[in-house]
Amino acid sequence: MIMKKWGLGLGVLFLLLPGMFSLPVFAQVEGLEEEVGIVEHLDTIIPANLTFKNELGQVVQLKSLITKPTILSLVYYDCPGICPQLLSGVSDVIEKMGLELGKDYQVITVSFNDNDTPEASVEKKKNFLRSHSKPRAAFWEYLTGDSANIYSLTHTVGYNFTRAGNDFMHPSVIMVLSPEGKVTRYLYGTSYLPFDVKMALIEAQKGQSRPTINRVLEYCFSYDPEGRKYTLQVTKITATIIIFFAALLFIILVVRSSRKKSKTQNS
């Protein structure tokens, strides 16, 4: 009986924990509360009709560009915060991963700011060209687009952002796509372990999707557009701790109650 009670209590705790670390990130912008963060849409296929402009100003179909496992990053080019760090993290992991860019995988960066231009793409790509050869750089596309195509792409992959003055509040994440354009993995933060990215690309080649377990960074931090930095979300973390200990207290009370009943019956 006691083991059953323990099982019930632990079951409740395990049901609560995933929810605590998958709560959406909220931001208060101009009096409106809008959701900012990621809702993982694993196994979703990128729409075939989405078009963007590459750094040469040519209109390209996004789906046609995806011919091998792909790292997809969503940024905006004037970002004063984490976008440059994210792109730097992608560039860094390319050097350390052990897979060949252009042969084993490719990278596509799309700006979610519809005011960004192909000329801005060229400037951003120059930063990449400084550390990579031109043949390899051909397999890292920088794209811009209109609001309709941007919305369709971000909505498809579950990437939620909102404008805050001249900047944007947005999550920090890269997505891995299969050669068919299917979302198979989300990797959070601005720096990435070569092993994690390599395995994600290998799984994407096979069409295998894998949910993200560790979302603590996205959960605990939010971007402050005025201070232009990430801040710790104390209220959210405190609420999580309270829920955790409430669940733990529930388990203790259940176990104590079952022990008392057991003693009463034995006596």
pLDDT (0 to 100) of residue 5: 47
Closest alpha carbon to 75 in 98, 91, 59 = 91
- pLDDT tens sequence across 94-152: 989 989 999 999 999 999 999 999 999 998 888 766 666 556 677 899 999 999 999 99
Beta bridge partners of 187: 174
Whether residue 6 has pLDDT greater than 50? no
Q: How many residues are given for the chain?
A: 267
Q: Which CATH class is domain 28-214?
A: alpha beta
Residue 10 confidence (pLDDT) above 80: no
Mean pLDDT to the nearest integer, 7-32: 42
Q: Where are the domains of the chain?
A: 1-22+215-267, 28-214
Question: Which pLDDT tens digit goes with each residue over 29-83?
Answer: 333 334 788 999 999 999 999 999 999 999 999 999 999 999 999 999 999 889 9
Average pLDDT of the chain is 79
| pTM of the full structure | 0.69
Per-residue 3-state assignment (H helix, E strand, C coil) for 54-114: CCCCCEEEHHHHCCCCEEEEEECCCCCCCHHHHHHHHHHHHHHCCCCECCCEEEEEEECCC
Is residue 236 scored above 70 in pLDDT? no
Q: Residue 158: helix, strand or coil by DSSP? A: coil
Q: How far is residue 69's CA from residue 105's CA, in Å, rounded to a whole number?
A: 5
The angle formed by the CA atoms of residues 193, 99 and 84, to the nearest 5 degrees, is 50
